[in-house]
Each structure stands twice: as structure tokens, then as C-alpha cells.
A and B are shown apart, each in its own frame.
Chain A
Amino acid sequence: MKRGLLHLGIGNRDRLLSIGFPILLLVLWESAVALKWLDARFFPAPSTVGVALWNLIANGELLGPFWLLPGKVRAGDWSGVLKVFEEGHLWISLFRIFSGFLLGAIPGIILGVIMGMNRTIRVAFDPVISAVYVLPKIAILPLVMLIFGIGEISKVVIVGIASFFLVLINTTAGVRDIEPIFIEAGQNYGASRWQMFYHVIIPGALPIIFAGLRLSLGTALIVIIAAEFVAAKYGLGYLIWFSWQTLLTENMFAGLVIIMILGALFTSGLQAIEKWLMPWQREERPAPVDVSDTQSAKR
């Protein structure tokens, strides 16, 4: 086996390790439960979690009664379609995450660019923002519910607040981080205010804006799960909390698996958007060789 591993190319060996090791862990976990080294009430075997996940989908808890969808669409019953989605924990959480994320990220980018470009506004706003930023956002959930009630809006708003500050701070940093020489080049070549914004400021700050978006999407996931623990009747957080209270640990683990998958999908989705929006950031290709150019010829 060891010999075989060494004989594979380095890329294949890495791939085998990165897939094989997690599988090994799952097998170990499964056998530890089967051999009763682990208490199945607290750590249900992966196979049990898999079955629980299947049941959650089949009984419509996770995705809603999706098997009704074709019929409702054919009947043109759009409010019925909406109702199907409203009954799935996953869709509810996704709705809260994305609407909150947009609610926070869009004003965050706009104000961040303004703060990055305007010293007066930055100096005035900075202390307030730094003060609110360090506050764990979930701590203000009671206040948000006091203002917006216990309905859907509160959950969207709390995610929005959490996203807003992360995006704002990163956008400001990204705009301030642009090399002054790019701004000077823009000015010297006659860029108007709008052209400067579109051709220099935004593309220059985009990598760091995206770092902020990635962070805030992760935070949105944390915040919504925490909010659903305490203040919801639907959603993945509620599913986990309720499963704990009723000691349905396999459902709890199924909820955790879903959240892990969501996190991975968010990250790779944002990465794909990043690559599409910033083609200039694509990984280094070998520099083309130019014979008149000793620097590249040496390489």
C-alpha cells in the first residue's frame, strides 16, 4: 500500500489523501459506534445520520413537501408553491441569510467606498463603527426584536447588521489600499469622477471587498443559526435546537451536515464569482518570454 502511494504522481497522491482520509475517519466513527466505544445516543453512526437526513427530506421537514410542486405549478397555484418553500427549514434559513446579506452588503459597499474616498466622513464615522463592530451582533437580537417584532423581519435585519459592518470595514480598507499612483494615473489621463470610480476605485478595491463579502457570508450563517436557536419556529437553527431538546441526536447531526454543505457551497460560489469578476487575478501563468527583454529571458 505504501509503495503504491509513493508510485502515484504527487497530484494524484494528494487527491487520494484528501478524499481517503475523511472516508477513513467516517469508517472509524462507524466502527467505533458499532463496537460500542462511542455512545450512539450522543454520537449516532454516520449511517444513522444519513438515514435521518433522508427521512428529513422524505417527510418534507427539510425541503418542504416538494413533491406537491409539479401539481401546484400545473394548477398555477403560486401561493401554494410559496407555501411549500415556507415549510422547509433549509429554504427559510437560506431566505433569511441571503436577504439579510444583501440588505447589509449593498449599503456596506456604498458607504465603504464613500468612507474610503472622503476623509471627513471617515474621521467622523470611524469611532462609531469601530465601537459597534466589536459588539457580537447576536447580542443585539433582543433589541432588534423589540424594534421589528418577533417576525421574519428581525432575523433578516440581524443578519443584515452583521454583514453590513464586515463589508463596510473591508470596503473602506480596500479603497484606501489602492496605490496612489493608480489614482494619479486616472487623474492625469482625465478621468471624470464617475470614470475614476468605475475604472480605478472599484476594480482596485474589489479583491478586498470580496474578502469582506466572504467573511460576512460566513458570519451571516453563524448569526442566523444562533438567532434561530432562540427565536424561530422554522429554520436549520431551529431544527438543531429542537432535535437537541427532544434528544433526536441523529437529526441534530443531519442539521450540522447541511450547514457544513451550505458553508462549502457559499465559499466555492463566491470563489467562482470572484474568478469571473476579476480575471486579472487568475493564478500566475508562466510569464511569456520576450527575447529583447533580458529580465524574462533569465527566468
Chain B
Amino acid sequence: MAVKIKALGVTKLYPSSNEPLCALRDFNLEVKEGEFLCIVGPSGCGKSTFLRILGGLITPTSGEITLLPGKEDVPLQSIVFQEYAIFPWKTVIDNVAFGLHMRGFSRRERRGIALDWLRKVGLIKFADAYPHQLSGGMKQRVSIARAFANNPEILLMDEPLGALDAQTRAVLQEELIHLWEDLRKTVVYITHSIEEAVLLGDRVVLMTAHPGTNKSEFSVPFKRPRCFALTSAPEFGQLTYAIWQDLQGEVQKTMEKQR
């Protein structure tokens, strides 16, 4: 398969009062078309910074980013943000239709598409509700639907389930697997949970602690379609443990630094 995303030597420095803060140093990544790639790293390793660079929200200090463009009439990438970045002042359906609205779809078209996605994430009853009337899990479903409805070639997800409790999270992980397996879009998924990365991803890239750069990577051999039952398989435990052993040192480094 063709390479969809290519990042070469990406470095991001933030100016600060004494010496510039290095969030990301010489990070390399290749993602194939239709691949679900997970990036795992200790907190503060610059993984969110990298995702924002891919999403065009931050320009890197140095390095090269290539997103291979495909069809002309679809957006190249859309981000599913951490926590609740859906607009509190828009109804659920208007939130889901936001990307389409910005791209000039007529009201009828965009509402039709948004309704389809609301049906898929089970929120059709709440189309005209405002976000403050929804629970955390429902808000994040809206956020995911907003990105899918925009129909981008690449989905960039920044710890989308990070703020949810364990049970809600498990439900949404499974929903996300089903949504993705239907469409097989290229995904870069940031998470701090190894289990989540192994459950969802085709490949897991580990990052070092601050400044973030490549540590190692693991391919995830499990067959698709997947479901949550996978987490009970011994191979699942073996792989997550192997990743954890590799990552452990980095997490300890971060914790010592914070002390």
C-alpha cells in the first residue's frame, strides 16, 4: 500500500525564558494508506504536539511532513480532539455537520449526512439537544461523528477517549473499531493506554520521554474484525506486557523529572 503520511526529522522547539523547550526531536513516522497507527508515550512526550503538526495547527521548527493528497473534493485530514472540543453553542446535529458546513454543503445535504452519522453512533434522539445535556461518553461520540461525517482521508485522534471512565471507554473503543473497520481510513491515534493501542491499532509506535522521539515500534498481528473480547486473549496480554516493559523506563524517567 502507498505511504499516506511521511514525517521526517520533525522537531518542535517552544521559546521559553531560559533555553528553548524541546517538545519533539527528530521524530520520524511513516503511515500506510488504510493503516490504523497508534502512538504511545509517557505524558508530556510531545505526542499531542506531533498530532497538531500533522493537523496543520502547529508548524514544526524543522523537519518535513508529507500528507499524500488523494481525491480533490474530500478534506485531507480531520482531528478528533482530546476531551470535549465540540461546540457548546451548537446543537448535536450542527456539531456533527460543522465540517460540512464550513466546506459549503447546503443545509439539507449536511443535515442528511449528519443524521446518518448520528444514527451510527446511536445519538439520533439527541440531534437537537445541546452538548450540556449529554454525558461525557455521548459528547465524545459527537466529536467522533463530527470527524467521520467530514469524510477526511486521514483521521487524527488525540486521546479521544482519555477523559472517560473505564466502562464507557470500553464501549466506545468497540464502537470505534466497528466504525473504522467499515471504512478503513488512515488513522493516527494518540493514546497513553497500551491496551487501547493494541486493541485498536495495526501498529504501535512508542515515543521516548521529553523530548519525544522514536523509541521502538510493535506490529499488532491480531485479525480483524476485532472486538473487546480480544483483551482476554493470552497473546493480547503478552504483547501489551512486552510493550510495557519497553516503555517502563521512559515513564520512570518522566516521573523522576517531575519530582
Q: A interface vs B, CB < 8 Å? A: 179, 181-182, 184-192, 195, 199-200, 203-204, 206, 278-280, 282, 284-285, 287-288, 290, 292-296, 299
The answer on a CB contact under 8 Å between B134 and A181 is no
List the A residue with the shortest CB-CB distance to B84. A181
Q: Mark B120-140, 1 if CB is under 8 A from A, else 0.
A: 001001100111111111100
Which of A184, A287, A295 is close to B168, meaning CB atoms less than 8 Å apart? A295
The answer on a CB contact under 8 Å between A189 and B135 is no
Q: Which of B12-20, B27-35, B49-57, B109-117 contacts A (4 or more CB under 8 A)?
A: B49-57
Which of B86, B122, B130, B164 is close to A295, meaning CB atoms less than 8 Å apart? B164
Chain B residues whose CB sits within 8 angstroms of the CB of A187 once the complex forms? 56-57
Which of B79, B122, B137, B150 is close to A296, meaning CB atoms less than 8 Å apart? B137
Q: Is B171 an interface residue (CB 8 A)?
A: yes
A182-B87, A292-B122, A295-B164 known; A287 vs B78 contact (CB < 8 Å): no
A182-B87, A188-B78, A191-B102 known; A290 vs B135 contact (CB < 8 Å): yes
List the B residue with the shortest CB-CB distance to A200. B87
Could you tell me the distance between the alpha carbons of A179 and B102 in the complex, rounded to whole angstroms?
Answer: 20
The answer on a CB contact under 8 Å between A295 and B165 is yes
* Residue of A278, A295, A296 with highest tally of chain B CB at under 10 A: A295
A207 to chain B, nearest CB (A): 9
Chain A residues whose CB sits within 8 angstroms of the CB of B136 once the complex forms? 295
Could you tell me the distance between the alpha carbons of A250 and B254 in the complex, rounded to whole angstroms?
Answer: 75
Size category, B interface:
35 or more
Which of A181, A185, A293 is close to B138, meaning CB atoms less than 8 Å apart? A293
The answer on a CB contact under 8 Å between B57 and A184 is yes
Q: Is B226 an interface residue (CB 8 A)?
A: no
State which residues 129-175 of B face A: CB under 8 Å: 129-138, 146, 150, 164-165, 167-168, 171
List the A residue with the shortest CB-CB distance to B87. A182
* Residue of A179, A188, A199, A200 with highest tally of chain B CB at under 10 A: A188
* Residue of B55, B78, B85, B89 with highest tally of chain A CB at under 10 A: B89
A184-B81, A190-B99, A280-B130 known; A293 vs B168 contact (CB < 8 Å): yes
A195 to chain B, nearest CB (A): 6
List the B residue with the shortest CB-CB distance to A289. B135
A288 to chain B, nearest CB (A): 7
List the A residue with the shortest CB-CB distance to B122. A292
- Return 11 A-B CB contacts under 8 Å, by A number: A181-B85, A192-B102, A199-B98, A280-B132, A282-B130, A288-B125, A288-B133, A292-B137, A293-B137, A295-B136, A296-B137
Chain B residues whose CB sits within 8 angstroms of the CB of A299 once the complex forms? 135
Chain A residues whose CB sits within 8 angstroms of the CB of B102 once the complex forms? 186, 189-192, 195, 199
Could you tell me the distance between the alpha carbons of A189 and B225 in the complex, rounded to whole angstroms?
Answer: 30
A283 to chain B, nearest CB (A): 10
Could you tell me the distance between the alpha carbons of A235 and B144 in the complex, rounded to whole angstroms?
Answer: 58
Could you tell me the distance between the alpha carbons of A287 and B57 in the complex, rounded to whole angstroms?
Answer: 33
List the A residue with the shortest CB-CB distance to B137. A293
Q: Is B83 an interface residue (CB 8 A)?
A: yes
List the A residue with the shortest CB-CB distance to B174. A292
A203-B89, A280-B89 known; A185 vs B79 contact (CB < 8 Å): yes
Chain B residues whose CB sits within 8 angstroms of the CB of A189 once the complex forms? 78, 98-99, 102, 146, 150
B85 to chain A, nearest CB (A): 4
Which of A185, A192, A282 is close to B85, meaning CB atoms less than 8 Å apart? A185
Could you tell me the distance between the alpha carbons of A203 and B126 in the complex, rounded to whole angstroms?
Answer: 21
List the B residue with the shortest CB-CB distance to A284. B132
List the A residue with the shortest CB-CB distance to B52. A184
The answer on a CB contact under 8 Å between A185 and B81 is yes
Could you tell me the distance between the alpha carbons of A284 and B129 in the complex, rounded to whole angstroms?
Answer: 12
A188-B78, A287-B134 known; A294 vs B168 contact (CB < 8 Å): yes
Known: A190-B75, A287-B134. 11 other contacts (CB 8 A): A181-B83, A184-B79, A185-B86, A188-B57, A189-B99, A189-B102, A204-B89, A278-B89, A290-B138, A292-B137, A295-B137
B209 to chain A, nearest CB (A): 24
A278-B89, A288-B133, A290-B137 known; A181 vs B81 contact (CB < 8 Å): yes
Q: Which 3 A-B pairs have the closest CB atoms?
A: A296-B135, A203-B89, A294-B167
A189-B98, A189-B102, A295-B168 known; A288 vs B134 contact (CB < 8 Å): yes
The answer on a CB contact under 8 Å between B133 and A285 is yes
Could you tell me the distance between the alpha carbons of A191 and B57 in the complex, rounded to whole angstroms?
Answer: 13
List the A residue with the shortest CB-CB distance to B156. A188
Q: Is B88 an interface residue (CB 8 A)?
A: yes
Q: Is B103 an interface residue (CB 8 A)?
A: yes
The answer on a CB contact under 8 Å between B79 and A188 is yes
The answer on a CB contact under 8 Å between A188 and B55 is yes
A187-B57, A296-B138 known; A279 vs B85 contact (CB < 8 Å): no
Could you tell me the distance between the alpha carbons of A211 and B126 in the complex, rounded to whole angstroms?
Answer: 30
State which residues 90-109 of B face A: CB under 8 Å: 90, 98-99, 101-103
The answer on a CB contact under 8 Å between B75 and A287 is no
The answer on a CB contact under 8 Å between A288 and B83 is no
The answer on a CB contact under 8 Å between A288 and B129 is yes
Which of A190, A192, A203, A290 is close to B87, meaning CB atoms less than 8 Å apart? A203
Chain B residues whose CB sits within 8 angstroms of the CB of A186 once the complex forms? 102
